[in-house]
Amino acid sequence: MYICSMELKNDLLLRAAKGEKVERTPVWLMRQAGRILPEYRKVRASVSGFIELAQTPELAAEVTIQPVDILDVDAAIIFSDILVIPEAMGLPYEMIEKRGPRFPETIKSKADVEKLSVANVEESLSYVTKAIQITKKELNGRVPLIGFAGAPWTIFAYMVEGSGSKTFSKAKAMLYTDPELSHQLLQKITDSTIAYLKAQIAAGADLVQVFDSWAGILSHQQYKEFSIPYLKKIADAIQNVPKTVFAKDAHAAFSDLSKLDYQTIGLDWTMNPVEVRDIVGANKTLQGNLDPCVLYADKASIRKHTKKMLEEFGAGRHIANLGHGVYPDINPDHVKYFIEAVKGFSVK
Ligand code: CP3
């Protein structure tokens, strides 16, 4: 089959990421695929669960495109999960209904780390690259497609802890008790992640985002030692598309993050765009950061808070988003109010 390279009809996201002129601020939502849409739940109900859905490329493509059709966002993000990487390295995960991910086996020792392989992406993650190819074809250039991966520290946290946690104390303890082994594991995750992101780009991803969802539980010294160097390796290895890094709650990391080769830096809702701009300088694009809970409020409040957020970021070098993923019980109409407000108010 011949897939011709397509011109994008809407490339606002890519232009904003590169710091080029845009007619208005682009907007998409973290976790826009799945969760909130009844149309997603219908597809989800036709399979055994999240993992089967993510591993069925035609269905993954279908739910990736739903928010573009229904919400009119300026980008699609491929339907998958950050935890496909540990699985491809030899540590499979389960997704427990309404509770989240769980690893039946966790990493505790040097022998456990040595047993893991660097992911053979072509073999074990071809379902993601196939889903990307199908999505690109079906999008037909309407909007860019975002590929993604977890940051090495966040993936490490799940692999050692075995599930979500308030403190991730097992994972943090390993950083203190065996830094050498921790670096060995982080390096294996990094090598897997670089291969994975390259494969996503080769399949058609137009921009990639690295999610450091558990950045905020590390001390700033730990973040400097155990996250920043691996984020740097990823940024340096991936050169042909714009890159975004989102380090949730990492208030002390902006100066270090701004020195890495990511064009866009994500902000959660606790962060002040004016202060962050001061630290990172004019040559970065900022993404975010409406509090997801604003979307529980009425239309007038959503409009008011969205306008305020856009004013704080100011004209140019901004990609509008929430400060974290959209919550599952948000009314899709309220998401539409947010998207329409960005399009209506954005600083020209
Ligand atoms: O719309 C999108 O953003 C694309 C799909 C996507 C999923 N997970 C699908 C998913 C993306 C980008 C992710 C990233 C992800 N996964 C992160 C980083 C972003 C963040 O939220 O900080 C993290 C930490 C995970 C790990 C994970 N996966 C958790 C904690 C959970 C359970 C709770 C939850 O958020 O739903 C998941 C499950 C998951 N990932 C679901 C979906 C649609 C729900 C599973 C289901 O449908 O049964």
Query: Which tens digits make up the pLDDT trace of 57-105?
Result: 999 999 999 999 999 999 999 999 999 999 999 999 999 988 999 999 9
Q: 31 CA distance to ligand 1 centroid (A)?
A: 7
Q: Does the annotation list 324 as a binding residue?
A: yes
Is residue 50 in contact with ligand 1, taking CB distance under 6 Å?
Answer: yes
**Which residue's C-alpha comes closest to atom 41 of ligand 1?**
50
- Position 213 confidence tier, pLDDT thresholds 50, 70, 90: very high
Residues annotated as catalytic (active site), given as ranges: 31, 35, 44, 81, 158
Q: Which helix (H) or strand (E) holds 68?
A: helix 57-71
**Which residue's C-alpha comes closest to atom 11 of ligand 1?**
81
Q: 9 CA distance to ligand 1 centroid (A)?
A: 28
Q: Residue 5's pLDDT is what?
A: 53
Q: 272 CA distance to ligand 1 centroid (A)?
A: 25
- Ranking 4-13, 43-52, 314-323 by mean pLDDT, the lowest is 4-13
Closest residue by Cα to residue 319 from 99, 11, 47:
11
Q: Where are the domains of the chain?
A: 12-345
Is residue 211 in contact with ligand 1, taking CB distance under 6 Å?
Answer: yes
- Position 347 confidence tier, pLDDT thresholds 50, 70, 90: low
Q: 82 CA distance to ligand 1 centroid (A)?
A: 7
- Position 198 confidence tier, pLDDT thresholds 50, 70, 90: very high
Q: Residue 57's pLDDT is what?
A: 98
Number of C-beta neighbours around residue 184 at 10 A:
14
- Position 222 confidence tier, pLDDT thresholds 50, 70, 90: very high
- Position 346 confidence tier, pLDDT thresholds 50, 70, 90: confident
Q: Residue 97's pLDDT is what?
A: 86
**Which residue's C-alpha comes closest to atom 2 of ligand 1?**
31
Q: Which residues make Cβ contacts (< 8 Å) with residue 328, sequence separation at least 6?
A: 35, 36
Amino acid identity of 118? Answer: V
Is residue 93 in contact with ligand 1, taking CB distance under 6 Å?
Answer: no
CA–CA separation, 295 and 322 (whole Å): 10
Q: C-alpha angle 273/218/98, rounded to 5°?
A: 85
* Class in CATH terms, 12-345: alpha beta
Percent of the chain with pLDDT over 90: 95
Residue with tokens 């558990």: 214
